[in-house]
Each structure stands twice: as structure tokens, then as C-alpha cells.
Amino acid sequence: MLNVTPDSFSDGGLHVDPEAAVAHARDMLEDGAALVDVGGESTRPGADGIALDEELRRVIPVLERLRGAPVSIDTTKAEVARRALALGAELVNDVTALRGDPELAQVVAESGAYLCLMHMQGEPRTMQDAPAYDDVVDTVTAFLEERLAFAVAAGVDEERVCLDPGIGFGKTPDQNLELVRGLPRIASLGRPVLVGLSRKSTLGKVLGDPDARVGTDDASVGAAIAAFDRGASIFRVHDVRRHVEALTVAAAIEHGAIR
């Protein structure tokens, strides 16, 4: 992931300069990233939204410099997605699952782009205010099934959709762990499952810090392997090389072959 924001939870402010952002993106690709996910609006807990013009100001210079590289755009806005796709983005990563901007589904459908639909209870500003579920896995699975049907009805090719349970987006640490255990039920919907466990505060809490705001990279890799074992196949991470190496070995063991 490449957050060109001043306020993301782990790396906010590190890549606001376009040249620094591009250099980091190229490092991630060299380390084995399949896509660089460019985001200009923070979705950390408590974050406020930003105006369209400000989001475009942050992401367009980066996307222009990365033209030709495999990139995705993390946005909820149709116009940002439209501009990013025109500059070569291959996937739209929408944390609202097409609930935020009524024009976004059409933009994705007409472009033929890939799409990631994510579950989030509430919105970033309020999502961690006492999230509650009768059964978090049932709720998230049903939501993603409904949003997948919505996207397909809007003209998005089902084969181009992946699903994200939204770890940390309106969930308690225990609910996050329950979702990882329940990933086989989400994978049963028949679409690739993306998880974003990297550096999430839940990992720091598991390791004994009740006030943790971020988790370690080692804990992130461990969580990714657990998610892989339960059906996840796409991983949104910070430390690319460490995850690529661990997941390559896990995949070789799973499939019984060395690439």
C-alpha cells in the first residue's frame, strides 16, 4: 500500500511528496508487490473525509509518474477512480463497497477494471465507536454477498471482483480475530479474498499492549500466514518483501511444489 496522506495510521506523512511516493512504490514493486495501492484519503479510525480536489491533488501526480506500473486506486469517489483508471490503474479499492458514491459502480463497469468490495460498519470517523454484531462472520459474509450482487447488477464483471472483510473497520480486536478464523465462509462466496492485517492495532494488543495503535511487521506476517491458511489470496501490506517471502513458502508447502 502507498498512502500519500498526512494522517494514515502507520505511515501517514512519509510519502506526501510525489517523488518520495514514487520511489517507495518502485521499491515495493522490486520487492515483489503485484500491485501498488495508491490512496489519498486516510481511512484510519476517527479520520475525517477530504474534498475531491484535495484527494486528486495528492494522488494524480503520483499516478502520472507511475504510468505503466501495476497500480490500484484506494478511493470512494467516482471522479478519483475515473482519473486514476485513465492513468492506468487496474483496480478500484472501495472501502464503502459502492455505497459512498452512486456513480462509482458505473465508472468501474464501463472501464472493465477490477474492484475490491470491503465491509465497514459505519464510517472511518465513527466506525470504532463500540462496534457490535450478533455474529460478525455471518454479518460480514451476508454483506459482501449482497454487495457483490449489487456490483454485478450494475455491470461489473463478477470475475473481476475481490472481497475484503474489513479487518479493523468497525470491529473490536476479538471480532477481527474471529473474522480471520471465519475466512473460509467468506471464501465460499467464490471470489478472491483480500485481507489487510498489516500493522493493525489488534496485533499489538494480541502481543500484550492494550493501548497499541500499530502492530509489528513480524506479527503482520504471522497474521497473513494464518489468513492464507484460511483462504485469503490477496494481501494489503506495508513490508512487502517479508510478506512475499513468507507467503511464497506457505504456498509452496500448500501446493507441494517449488515454483
Decide if 200 is catalytic.
yes
How far apart (Å, rounded) are the C-alpha atoms in residues 143 and 35?
26
How far apart (Å, rounded) are the C-alpha atoms in residues 26 and 15?
13
Catalytic residue among 236, 241, 242, 259: 236
Beta bridge partners of 38: 2, 73
Cell of 131: 462496534
Catalytic residue among 147, 171, 200, 205: 200
Active site residues: 200, 236
